[in-house]
Structure 1
Amino acid sequence: MDRVSQNTSASLRESGAVKRLLLGSVAGLTVVAGAQAADLPVKKAAPVEYVRVCSAYGAGFFYIPGTDTCLRVGGRARFEATYVQPLIRGDTTGYRGLGRLNLDARTQTGYGTLRAFVRFELASRTGGFLKSGTQERIANAFAATGVDTAARVQQYVNVDKAFIQFAGLTAGRAASFFDFYAHDFEIIGVSLGSDTYSTNLLAYTATFGEGFSATISMEDPNLRRTPVFGGGSTGFTGSQAVSANFAPVLVTNAAGVPVSVTAADVIQRSRMPDFVGALRYDAAWGSAQLSAAVHEINAGNTSTLVGLTAAQTALLPATANPAARPANAYGWAVQGGLKLNLPFIAAGDALYLQGAYGEGAQTYTGYSAHNGSYTLTGSPAPGLFNTYYADAVVDPVTGQLSLSTSWTVVASYLHYWTPQWRSAFYGSYGEMSYNKAARFNSALFGVNGLPSPTTAAGVAALAISPVLRDTNQIVAGASLIWSPVKDLDIGVEGLYARSAVSSGRVINPNKASSATLASAGAAGGPSLAAVLATPTVVSQDTFQVRMRVQRDF
């Protein structure tokens, strides 16, 4: 063994001895420390509180740790694609992605269940059809501004639900108690009928046993408003001449003789809530509901006097008695609905039947559901004649609000072919009409493009103008949905809609300009022969197909 090897061996022996000495010392110290620690008090760790299942309110609830409140977290993810004809802004397709989050908190109290429910919805819509003007008008969505994305891309942000329920009281943002069917079986959700799924309300529900209940609800009027018909008139200047916020009203002298015309501001103010009442019965065979609503319609003050033309004066009554401003009017609506469970056909089968009638309360009858609410006019697609939805018209001669009337009926049937395959079939019909005298008086002052009936050409043009015409609609559709696993839906739905005038004909916007009609009663306007040669239509149709992939949890 060389010197290097000997040194290495000696070093290893010395190192091993040192290690044994150190280990022995550590062991001794450990025993002493353990003996001393045994004499000290032991502080116990706080117990771990595990999440517990709450079975009192159904599946999915758990106790919030440290409380007696049960919480369920749920939501939804959805994809949709749509094809539509005729073209909308030149587009045939549209897409939407939607996310939903639900929070449902419940606590048992001496007065019953205390519940708070919150739902948030976020969506991205693209394409000419899936962009929703209705949602923009009520501040649920905002639109893109790019050259290629304006009117084609839209973000949707909504506090869909946020309400408290306690001892019969419901307070917050919830679905209107007026509604019944509310498009329950539809993918697209556009059959004619009321469906205000998010409104602000304060309601009380009393139950009488055996399935009977009665509700009185004070609801936000802003989400039930359709604009009062306006649009300025000939003779006004500046913004009042063209703005939809003004309508003409006659001014009379002491003898009641019309001497001039003034502008009435028709923007409605929030003054009185809507009042809704509902009687409901629920049983194993289904449900039945009768509901009613009262809805205030109001207008602002008048301003800006304008003299009458000789032609207008010639068609006015000898005397008139208009108010300084249009007095408040009160629209109303009633609705009856019936749901029948049909398990003898197939498990899960059900049939809805519903009908509604209203005056000055168009959103309660849901006549605008297909074409878009919260606007004066709606059309299934550009190039089709506009359907008018005004709740009221300011009659310039009487100075009062003249209410429109509307009614709708809908039937919807859900059928399960197998537990995994189901279909919905629905059809709806509705009509809307206006006071013909109020329409003629509005035309006399050229309101909102109405042809003035002061010449033969003007009379002929008024006969084919779509403005404030009585109309009817048919909306029908069917779907096929596959649910391969629980809470997953993959489906497709087809829709047919027909808009028509109830009598006569209207100008065909694909072949003629409405500006031609508007100037027919004016000097230098089109001749009677030209107006009579204007292309017209009675009705126009649209078709739509939408598919959906949806997961609820």
Structure 2
Amino acid sequence: MKLVKSLLLGSAAGLTVVAGANAADLPIKKAAPVEYVRVCSAYGAGFFYIPGTDTCLRVSGRARFEATYSQGYTRNANSGDLMGYRGLGRLNLDARTQTAYGTLRAFVRFELASRTGAYLKSGTQERNGNAFSATGVDTFNRVQQYVNVDKAFIQFAGLTAGRAASFYDFYAHDFEMIGTSLGSDVASTNLLAYTATFGNGFSATLSVEDPNFRKNPLFGTAVAGNLASQFIVFGNNGNLSPVLATNPAGAVVGEAFYDLRQTSRMPDFVGVLRYDSAWGSAQLSAAVHELNAGNAASVLGFNGVALPAGSAIAPRVNSEYGWAVQAGVKINMPFIAPGDTLYLQGSYGEGAQLYTGYSQYIGTYTASAGNAPGAAFGTFFTDAAVNPLTGKMELSTSWTVVGSYLHYWTPEWRSAIIGSYGEMSFGSTSRNLLGGLNFNGLGNPVNSNASFLFSPALRDTSQIVAGASLIWSPVKDLDIGVEGLYNRVDIKNGRVFDANKGATAALAAGVNANGQPVTAAGAVLATTNYADTFQVRMRVQRDF
């Protein structure tokens, strides 16, 4: 037994030595060091270092549900929606790196949304290329998908380059859900800007901006060869405007029809002076915006027949420059309640309606629109009309003022009160000339007097938008709220056809002894001098 025990112990010892020798011969593989994500505190909460770099990144976003009810007056065609819904998703990426010249920043924001129904399916977003509509029988004109690179800009040493909010804007609907008080708010445009900081809160910015997001159509109603429709038909047959054509001797022989669709020739130039302090901010903005037209698309005699080459001279429609100025102040009011803030802003422009924001509620990037489905008339927003005698653009004027006050009842409950007013004027010269420049073969007007007198085209208007909201934030970054607003447009002089009651220029045959428009059978057509509407919206929103 002692012999067996000794053999077993010896064998075990031998195996141990052999195993150790074999293990010593194997290469030793070191584990790769683990690089944990590090917090970056240089730029505020939420930033972290991208592994392997000295760049700090913050990822944030938003999820939102909205439902709205808005007034409507029609069930015709694709109209009639009173309710609308929207689901929206937002993703923000904010990357910053410290350099010898200061912070190098890149910011990107993507927004995607599904919109349906009244006032949440946005014609404005389709017109500027941010959305596309469904095409089904029941979904066309009421279901829309929204895809947008809302922001994509670089900031470095005072330079801002990329897609960003216009530097002209100040208040920009900061306290609103519906975001339709009168005032400029171009959240996404392409620009190249430089900001100089002077210290003590003062700064100045010069920005060169994409003009396409500030273009409203010029007024053009003519249909070449269909002279009777030059004033009473709008927007269905192109965007032409007539100007009298002469022969080489200077005698008027016909009309030249100019294509008023604008091209991109010059950027918009924006200048800003700003002051920021503990009490709030103040800003003065100015902008210059080019308006241009193409050459004559056709030259016709008064009988609607093309004139022989060289027999008529068409005057050139020269470019004009619209402009706008804006002043705003933001006042922090913690002495009433922590977080309370007041905005006051006013803007005036000529040939630059999208800088004053007069069309903000009703709809931009269109020459005219109603403030509700089946509205009594369309409100006009064109930047200029071409004088048919001289070929010179006559610029429209517009101005708006807005005040918005945010009040915290408690840290969880807050409200905003919004009020705005504006006016838009075209002057009588272009309207009267375009209304009268409709000729038959004898050179006499063919439009009925009623069609011109009661047309809403190029009518001076005033507008108010006022509203209030109540928002509950039970936990941080969660908002549940409701907002309502009222809109009214007034014709500043005279009356217009009430389309809500079936009255249009096409039905007018003349004016009776009481100055009312009538049909050929003598029936009086309805007229009005205002149109109003309201809208209510609720929202549930989570930011992260």
**TM-score, normalised on structure 2?**
0.89
Shift of 1:38: 3.5
For 1:135 and 1:150, the matched residues in 2 are separated by 15
Provide the residue aligned with 1:294 in structure 2: 288
- Pair 1:193 & 2:179 matched: no
Do 2:322 and 2:352's aligned partners in 1 also have CA atoms closer than 8 Å? yes
- Pair 1:60 & 2:46 matched: yes
User: Which aligned pairs between 1:67-466 and structure 2 lie closer than 5 A?
Assistant: 67-87=53-73, 89-233=79-223, 235-236=225-226, 243-308=237-302, 324-384=315-375, 385-446=377-438, 454=445, 458-466=448-456
Shift of 1:460: 3.6
For 1:218 and 1:32, the matched residues in 2 are separated by 80
Aligned to 1:513, which of 496, 503, 507?
503
Pair 29,421 (structure 1): closer, same or farther in 2 beyond 3 Å: farther
Give the gaps of 5 or more residues in structure 2.
1-7, 305-311, 512-516
Provide the residue aligned with 1:6 in structure 2: none
Give the gaps of 5 or more residues in structure 1.
1-20, 311-320
Shift of 1:206: 0.2
Do 1:471 and 1:499's aligned partners in 2 also have CA atoms closer than 8 Å? yes
Q: After superposition, give the CA deviation of every residue in 1:530-549 in whole Å (9 maximum; x if it has no partner).
A: 78932111112111110000
For 1:26 and 1:268, the matched residues in 2 are separated by 96
CA RMSD in angstroms, aligned pairs only: 2.7
For 1:347 and 1:473, the matched residues in 2 are separated by 33
- Letter of the aligned partner of 1:380 in structure 2? N
Shift of 1:513: 3.2
Pair 216,27 (structure 1): closer, same or farther in 2 beyond 3 Å: farther
User: Which aligned pairs between 1:5-44 and structure 2 lie closer than 5 A?
Assistant: 29=15, 32-38=18-24, 42-44=28-30
Provide the residue aligned with 1:315 in structure 2: none
For 2:251 and 2:36, the matched residues in 1 are separated by 83
Shift of 1:435: 2.5
Shift of 1:304: 1.8
Do 1:409 and 1:428's aligned partners in 2 also have CA atoms closer than 8 Å? yes
SS at match of 2:500: coil
- Letter of the aligned partner of 1:256 in structure 2? G
Percent of pairs with identical residues: 69
For 2:495 and 2:456, the matched residues in 1 are separated by 8
For 1:294 and 1:532, the matched residues in 2 are separated by 49
- Letter of the aligned partner of 1:542 in structure 2? T
Shift of 1:453: 9.3
Do 1:446 and 1:518's aligned partners in 2 also have CA atoms closer than 8 Å? no
Shift of 1:86: 2.6
User: How many equivalent residue pairs?
Assistant: 513
For 1:172 and 1:512, the matched residues in 2 are separated by 48
SS at match of 1:510: helix
For 2:13 and 2:331, the matched residues in 1 are separated by 82
Greater mean alpha carbon deviation, residues 27-36 or residues 40-49: 27-36
Provide the residue aligned with 2:539 in structure 1: 548
Greater mean alpha carbon deviation, residues 459-468 or residues 345-354: 459-468
For 2:369 and 2:263, the matched residues in 1 are separated by 23
Do 2:73 and 2:500's aligned partners in 1 also have CA atoms closer than 8 Å? no
Q: Which has the larger radius of gyration?
A: 1
For 1:441 and 1:277, the matched residues in 2 are separated by 36
- Letter of the aligned partner of 1:534 in structure 2? L
Shift of 1:324: 2.7
- Letter of the aligned partner of 1:413 in structure 2? Y
For 2:457 and 2:406, the matched residues in 1 are separated by 38
Shift of 1:65: 0.3
Greater mean alpha carbon deviation, residues 156-165 or residues 437-446: 437-446
For 2:522 and 2:44, the matched residues in 1 are separated by 67
For 1:411 and 1:376, the matched residues in 2 are separated by 27
Pair 546,465 (structure 1): closer, same or farther in 2 beyond 3 Å: same
Q: After superposition, give the CA deviation of every residue in 1:138-178 in whole Å (9 maximum; x if it has no partner).
A: 11000001111111100000000000000000000000000
- Letter of the aligned partner of 1:34 in structure 2? G
Pair 125,527 (structure 1): closer, same or farther in 2 beyond 3 Å: closer
Shift of 1:465: 1.1
For 2:438 and 2:339, the matched residues in 1 are separated by 55
- Letter of the aligned partner of 1:544 in structure 2? Q
Shift of 1:56: 0.3
- Pair 1:51 & 2:19 matched: no
Shift of 1:480: 0.2
SS at match of 1:86: coil
Pair 248,41 (structure 1): closer, same or farther in 2 beyond 3 Å: same
Pair 307,417 (structure 1): closer, same or farther in 2 beyond 3 Å: same
SS at match of 1:437: helix
For 2:126 and 2:100, the matched residues in 1 are separated by 43
Shift of 1:257: 2.6
For 1:95 and 1:143, the matched residues in 2 are separated by 15
Shift of 1:52: 0.3
For 1:24 and 1:501, the matched residues in 2 are separated by 114
Looking at secondary structure, tell me which structure has more helix per residue: 1
Do 1:193 and 1:408's aligned partners in 2 also have CA atoms closer than 8 Å? yes
Shift of 1:40: 5.7
For 1:472 and 1:483, the matched residues in 2 are separated by 36
- Letter of the aligned partner of 2:254 in structure 1? S
